[in-house]
């Protein structure tokens, strides 16, 4: 540790007292800098609730650090002399404090990491970028795992992390003698299912002030702000964690893939916003979930499924992101060029599934995994939307969105834009899937069983058109080949009619009319979205 005073920069998603930059610092000598800046608030069209969450949580964390004895310089975005970006904020703070170097835990997003490469030269002091060891698998360790492999199967990666952490292991064997209990995790949810309702956070004075600030300065950003329900402190996030573990974890697995009208959460944890800004620790959360199984309070299929999402998927997508960036964001394996339909910004559609998921997204800034993957994700892929536009939408609309986790999920998993690096086949499905896994179709004017004709669900024509559009590619894909063979058995007249119906639907959907910063989503009527079909 150098003995000269340092500036410790803490970013808005680094709100962890044990983060590497603080572990390498000395409260008696160093100054912590936290800065709300226009560049970070504006690089994406962040949902208004994400802005409130991040700014309010930053302000609370600054107080937490002061309480623990740190000297904290905090720059608010409405300060008259607010710095425009983090580099400028660091330059100001170096001048004010006389610190002789900067230490920062590496940012989660490539964009900011790339900018920081110039900081030593432009700030004129050494800048130490420290590894972010809140993740279980380091970037180097992922590289070691990935190098030499032809494809990156998440399940293989996950087993490596189970062994590394000892989570759900009995010696060197997986607990219950199986690595994965997904076969038990596909139950359908019925509308009369008992659903535990997590208590919402009550905004305190700090949050109320930030809400007013965001309403005033970020009115053009996407999303609604009339039901802000997120926790902004570590204690709040821990209460949400404990509530989930006690009330929803036991049924998490069974209903993981289900969707119900008017039920935005089911048994999902809603913990991603807190994990992603550092209010909760992923490994600690998994150990707590494991303890529930060992104590007999939660079944193994639920606990294993939950742990897999975190030490498996979450760590895996981060590894992919850092391995493949910066080229990854430009991939477009299916040459998809359509504009994102305006309905993504408004929820204005008579397809009940999309109205429900987009409406919920604009209202609360959250949708659960299968909604993101199989409703908004699949529809965009079937429509042939440019994956860059799809990525920008997902990065904007969710309170938990950070590019390291959002981009591989969007471009790789949901759009097949990386041509199969992450998924062995595209997540494409017809309306039958939506109808099986949800009750959305029951509230819709379209018939999920019809491919053509009056009232046919457009999803079906789009699905078969997608299969036909990329037929040459599917001939080389074992998992898609049987679906292509089905299509090839259709009567040629029906094939032509399906493709014409898909083209007509695409041509009739407004797209490109809304800019994400037009504030158009605020024009959406509030209230339940399920009736909008």
| Binding stretches for ligand FAD (CB under 6 A) | 268-272, 275-276, 306, 309-310, 313-314, 317, 368-369, 372-373, 377, 394, 398, 400-401, 405-406, 409-410, 413-414
Q: How far is the CB of 385 from ligand FAD (least distance, A)?
A: 12
| 36 binding partner (options ligand FAD, ligand DLZ, none; Cβ < 5 to 8 Å by kind) | ligand DLZ
Q: Kindly give the residue spans of alpha helices, DSSP state H, lying in 172-229.
A: 205-217
State yes or no: residue 12 binds ligand DLZ (CB under 6 A).
yes
Q: How far is the CB of 422 from ligand DLZ (least distance, A)?
A: 21
State yes or no: residue 304 binds ligand DLZ (CB under 6 A).
no
Q: How many CB atoms lie within 10 A of CB 91?
A: 18
State yes or no: residue 54 binds ligand DLZ (CB under 6 A).
yes
State yes or no: residue 402 binds ligand DLZ (CB under 6 A).
yes
Q: How far is the CB of 216 from ligand DLZ (least distance, A)?
A: 16
Question: To the nearest 5 percent, what fractions of the chain are helix, strand and coil?
Answer: 50, 5, 40
Interaction residues for ligand DLZ, span 59-88 (CB under 6 A): 86
Which residues are paired to 173 by β-bridges?
170
Q: Is the dihedral of CA 410, 366, 314, 108 positive or negative?
A: positive
| 40 binding partner (options ligand FAD, ligand DLZ, none; Cβ < 5 to 8 Å by kind) | ligand DLZ
Among 22, 41, 161, 428, binds ligand DLZ (CB under 6 A): 41
| 51 binding partner (options ligand FAD, ligand DLZ, none; Cβ < 5 to 8 Å by kind) | ligand DLZ
CA angle 314, 320, 325 (to 5 degrees): 125
How far apart, in Å, do the first and last CA atoms of the chain sit?
A: 61
Among 6, 7, 8, 11, binds ligand DLZ (CB under 6 A): 11
Among 32, 99, 108, 312, binds ligand DLZ (CB under 6 A): 108
Q: Which residue's CB is nearer to ligand FAD, number 102 or number 385?
A: 385
Q: Which residue's CB is nearer to ligand DLZ, number 106 or number 363?
A: 106
State yes or no: residue 365 binds ligand DLZ (CB under 6 A).
no
Closest CA to 15 of 301, 186, 234, 172: 234
Scan for tokens 């409406």, then name that residue: 359
Q: How far is the CB of 437 from ligand FAD (least distance, A)?
A: 14
| 11 binding partner (options ligand DLZ, ligand FAD, none; Cβ < 5 to 8 Å by kind) | ligand DLZ
Contact 427, 377 (CB under 8 A): yes
Q: How far is the CB of 360 from ligand FAD (least distance, A)?
A: 12
Closest CA to 44 of 318, 411, 417, 403: 403
| 263 binding partner (options ligand FAD, ligand DLZ, none; Cβ < 5 to 8 Å by kind) | none
Contact 24, 10 (CB under 8 A): no
Which H, E and C letters describe 95-142, residue by residue?
HHHCCCEEEEECCCCHHHHHHHCCHHHHHCCCEEEECCCCCCCCHHHH
Contact 227, 264 (CB under 8 A): no
Give the residue closest to ligand DLZ by C-beta. Answer: 12
Contact 320, 174 (CB under 8 A): no
CA distance linking residue 281 with residue 344, whole number of Å: 32
Which residues are paired to 511 by β-bridges?
341
Q: How far is the CB of 372 from ligand DLZ (least distance, A)?
A: 19
Scan for tokens 């309170």, then name that residue: 399
Q: Which residue's CB is nearer to ligand DLZ, number 228 or number 466?
A: 228
Q: How far is the CB of 460 from ligand DLZ (least distance, A)?
A: 39
Binding residues for ligand DLZ, per CB under 6 A? Answer: 11-13, 35-37, 40-41, 46, 51, 54, 86, 107-109, 112, 402
């Amino acid at each position: 540790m150098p003995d000269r005073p340092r500036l410790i920069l803490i970013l808005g998603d680094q709100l962890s007292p044990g983060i590497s930059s603080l572990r390498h610092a000395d409260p008696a000598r160093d100054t912590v800098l936290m800065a709300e800046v226009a560049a970070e608030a504006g690089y994406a069209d962040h949902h208004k609730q994400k802005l409130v969450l991040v700014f309010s949580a930053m302000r609370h964390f600054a107080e937490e650090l002061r309480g623990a004895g740190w000297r904290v310089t905090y720059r608010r975005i409405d300060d008259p002399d607010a710095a425009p970006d983090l580099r400028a904020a660091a330059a100001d703070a170096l001048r004010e404090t006389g610190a002789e170097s900067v230490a920062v835990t590496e940012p989660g997003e490539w964009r900011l990491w790339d900018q920081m490469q110039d900081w030593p030269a432009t700030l004129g002091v050494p800048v130490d970028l420290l590894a972010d060891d809140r993740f279980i698998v380091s970037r180097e360790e992922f590289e070691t795992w990935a190098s030499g492999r032809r494809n990156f199967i998440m399940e293989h990666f996950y087993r490596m992390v189970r062994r590394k952490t000892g989570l759900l292991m009995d010696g060197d064997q997986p607990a219950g003698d199986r690595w994965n209990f997904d076969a038990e995790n596909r139950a359908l949810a019925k509308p009369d299912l008992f659903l535990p309702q997590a208590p919402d956070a009550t905004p305190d004075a700090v949050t109320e002030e930030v809400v007013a600030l965001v309403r005033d300065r970020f009115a053009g950003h996407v999303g609604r702000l009339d039901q802000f329900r997120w926790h902004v402190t570590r204690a709040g996030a821990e209460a949400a964690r404990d509530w989930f573990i006690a009330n929803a974890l036991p049924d998490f697995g069974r209903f993981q893939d289900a969707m119900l009208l008017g039920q935005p959460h089911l048994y999902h944890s809603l913990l991603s916003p807190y994990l992603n800004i550092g209010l909760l620790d992923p490994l600690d959360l998994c150990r707590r979930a494991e303890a529930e199984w060992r104590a007999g309070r939660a079944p193994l299929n639920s606990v294993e499924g939950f742990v897999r999402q975190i030490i498996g998927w979450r760590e895996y997508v981060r590894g992919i992101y850092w391995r493949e960036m910066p080229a990854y964001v430009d991939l477009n394996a299916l040459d998809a060029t359509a504009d994102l339909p305006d309905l993504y910004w408004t929820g204005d559609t008579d397809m009940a599934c999309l109205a429900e998921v987009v409406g919920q997204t604009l209202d609360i800034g959250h949708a659960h995994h299968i909604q993101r993957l199989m409703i908004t994700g699949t529809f965009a892929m079937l429509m042939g939307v440019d994956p860059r536009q799809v990525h920008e939408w997902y990065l904007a609309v969710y309170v938990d969105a950070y590019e390291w986790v959002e981009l591989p999920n969007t471009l790789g998993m949901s759009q097949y834009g990386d041509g199969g690096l992450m998924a062995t086949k595209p997540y494409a499905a017809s309306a039958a899937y939506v109808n099986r896994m949800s009750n959305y179709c029951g509230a819709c004017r379209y018939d999920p069983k019809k491919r053509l004709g009056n009232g046919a669900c457009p999803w079906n024509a789009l699905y078969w058109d997608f299969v036909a559009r990329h037929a040459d590619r599917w001939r080389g894909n074992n998992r898609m080949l049987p679906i292509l063979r089905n299509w090839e058995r259709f009567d040629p007249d029906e094939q032509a009619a399906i493709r014409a119906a898909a083209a007509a639907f695409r041509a009739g959907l407004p797209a490109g009319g809304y800019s994400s910063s037009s504030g158009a989503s605020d024009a959406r009527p509030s209230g339940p979205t399920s009736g909008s079909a």
